[in-house]
């Protein structure tokens, strides 16, 4: 999963979505363009072991205030956000990794051989039903983006968001107004779907998939009758090509990394924190600390891990709170709080009115089909 994968199916998409990236990679030398993870790794190892590479202290204080002052200084123009399930929990989307409350605990009814099977590509090809039943239960359209999602949108509107790297597949970043080019959906997305037959690879839209999911049929390709799967990355599948190409371009020029709602335990996503320059401040907004350097690796001189409060700490800030509270606090320090709250209010009202319209037209359709059944049996009993 860690090396640049060959995914022919994604190539057309790549060219369409990121013409800007193509230009950038032309700028870099041949070596850089093909430069791989091992080279970076060795470079980092040698430079940290030999004390090379400048580690400038950019923040005047390792706190949220320090970060806010840095953003306000105007020197911070390329912000990367790295986000995980924690930014969507306040939208009501369960974090399937947390035991008990998580998704895996609710999977018993599907009679899976083991819980992870539901996201395993080989199992899916034989038994797609459990996945689609779950997809129906968790259908992305039923949720609203959070304060945190809209904070990221504000960074974009202010022209200082380089990109948002998300591990989430709930598409809430897109609902909040980020576009394909603003996003790296590292674990894929429900936004598009493809026929799983390699000879076909027909693309299908979210609306098409939604209709199939809610009709309880496993979606079949209109052209070749193979299964159609949302473009989320299953176990046993590669990460999107764009993850690797954008990563090489974005992180070296990043001047503030904001990590939210992730415990940085899933690779290769977690390793991204080590790809920014040594001077780049890194802000973690999360319910617990994460990404700290392993002690042994630290002794060996590996950089990359987060260091919030050792005597050598100079750039990492941990703000322990929910992602929404952390974003509100940061917005407040930036003088953006009222604007952020207004944006959330306006967008949520828009989504609610859209939902109402959809429901109204759905129930109109249903009423036309069965005009005699207007009162549910339950409500009769109560009378
Ligand atoms: Zn097909």
pLDDT in tens, 186-241: 999 888 999 999 999 999 998 899 999 999 888 999 999 999 999 999 988 888 88
Q: pLDDT band for position 69 (50/70/90)?
A: very high
Residue 280 annotated in ligand binding: no
Give the model confidence (pLDDT) of 155-199 as tens digits.
999 999 999 999 998 889 999 999 999 999 999 988 899 999 999
| Count of structural domains within the chain | 2
Give the model's pLDDT for residue 28.
39
- On whether residue 122 sits in a domain, the answer given is yes
Ligand 1: distance of its center to the CA of 64 in Å? 50
Do residue 278 and residue 347 come from a single domain?
yes
- Per-residue pLDDT band for 320 (boundaries 50, 70, 90) equals very high
Least confident of 63-72, 116-125, 151-160, 244-253: 116-125
Give the Å distance between the CA of 227 and the centre of ligand 1. 7
DSSP codes, 230-262: EEE--BTSPPPHHHHHHHHHHGGG-SEEEEES-
Statement to judge: residues 181 and 246 lie in one domain? yes
Cis before residue 273, ω within 30 degrees of 0? Answer: no
What is the phi-psi region of residue 159: left when phi exceeds 0, alpha when psi lies from -120 to 50, beta otherwise?
A: left
- If one counts every other C-beta atom within 10 angstroms of the C-beta of residue 98, the result is 15
Is 76 among the annotated ligand-binding positions?
no
**From the CA of 186, how far away is ligand 1's center (Å)?**
24
127 in a structural domain: yes
3-state secondary structure of 174: helix
Nearest-5° Cα angle at 64, 60 to 65: 55
> Could you tell me the distance, in angstroms and rounded to a whole number, from the CA of residue 199 to the centre of ligand 1?
8
* Confidence band, pLDDT 50/70/90 cuts, at residue 101: low
253, pLDDT greater than 70: yes
DSSP letter string, 289-346: ---BPPHHHHHTT---SB-SSSTT--SEEEEES-HHHHHHHHHHHHT-HHHHHHHHHH
Here the CATH number for the domain that contains residue 176 is: 3.40.50.1220
Global pTM reads 0.77
Helices (H), the chain: 11-17, 19-27, 30-34, 37-49, 64-72, 121-126, 129-137, 147-157, 172-175, 206-214, 241-250, 295-299, 323-334, 337-369, 377-382
| Closest by Cα among 299, 249, 307 to 278 | 307
Domain that holds residue 311: 49-91+145-186+242-356
- % pLDDT > 70, the chain: 73
The mean of the pLDDT values for the chain is 81
- Considering the candidates 187, 194, 295, 348, report the single residue annotated as catalytic: 187
Which phi and psi angles does 59 have, rounded to 5°? -80, 140
If asked whether residues 130 and 269 sit together in one domain, one would say no
CA of 198 to the centre of ligand 1 (A): 8
152 and 297 in a single domain? The answer is: yes
Q: What angle do CA 230, 17, 95 make, to 5 degrees?
A: 40
Residues 113-145: tens digit of each pLDDT: 887 888 899 999 999 998 998 888 777 556 899
Query: Given this model, what pLDDT does residue 373 score?
Result: 40
199 vs 314: CA distance, rounded Å: 52
Residue 153 lies in a domain: yes
**295 is annotated as an active-site residue:** no
Query: Residue 100's pLDDT band (boundaries 50, 70, 90)?
Result: low
Q: How far is the CA of 330 from the centre of ligand 1 (A)?
A: 47
With cut-offs at 50, 70 and 90, classify the pLDDT of residue 371: very low
């Amino acid at each position: 999963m860690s090396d640049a994968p060959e995914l022919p199916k994604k190539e057309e998409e790549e060219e369409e979505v990121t013409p800007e990236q193509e230009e950038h990679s032309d700028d870099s030398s041949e070596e850089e363009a093909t430069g791989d993870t091992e080279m970076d790794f060795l470079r980092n190892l040698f430079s940290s072991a030999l004390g090379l590479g400048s580690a400038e202290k950019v923040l005047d204080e390792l706190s949220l205030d320090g970060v806010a002052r840095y953003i306000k200084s105007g020197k911070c123009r390329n912000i990367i956000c790295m986000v995980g399930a924690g930014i969507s929990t306040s939208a009501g989307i369960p974090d399937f990794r947390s035991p008990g409350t998580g998704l895996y605990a609710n999977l018993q009814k599907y009679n899976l051989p083991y819980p992870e099977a539901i996201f395993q590509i080989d199992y899916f090809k034989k038994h797609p039903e459990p996945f689609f039943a779950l997809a129906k239960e968790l259908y992305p359209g039923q949720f609203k983006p959070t304060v945190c999602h809209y904070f990221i949108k504000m960074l974009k509107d202010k022209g200082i968001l380089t990109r948002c790297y998300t591990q989430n597949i709930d598409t809430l970043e897109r609902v909040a107004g980020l576009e394909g080019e603003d996003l790296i959906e590292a674990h894929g997305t429900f936004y598009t779907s493809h026929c799983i037959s390699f000879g076909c690879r027909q693309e299908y839209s979210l609306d098409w998939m939604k209709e199939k999911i809610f009709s309880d049929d496993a979606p079949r390709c209109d052209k070749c009758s193979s299964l159609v799967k949302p473009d989320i990355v299953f176990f046993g599948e590669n990460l999107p090509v764009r993850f690797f190409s954008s990563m090489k371009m974005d992180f070296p020029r990043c001047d503030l990394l904001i990590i939210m709602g992730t415990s940085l335990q899933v690779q290769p996503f977690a390793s991204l924190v080590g790809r920014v320059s040594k001077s780049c401040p890194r802000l973690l907004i999360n319910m617990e600390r994460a990404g700290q350097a392993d002690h042994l690796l630290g002794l060996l001189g590996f950089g990359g891990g987060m260091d919030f409060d050792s005597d050598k700490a100079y750039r990492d800030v941990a703000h322990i709170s929910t992602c929404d509270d952390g974003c509100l606090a940061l917005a407040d320090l930036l003088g953006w709080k009222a604007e952020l709250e207004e944006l959330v209010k306006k967008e949520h009202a828009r989504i609610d009115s859209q939902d109402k319209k959809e429901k109204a037209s759905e129930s109109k359709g249903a009423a036309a089909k069965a005009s005699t059944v207007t009162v549910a049996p339950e409500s009769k009993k109560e009378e």
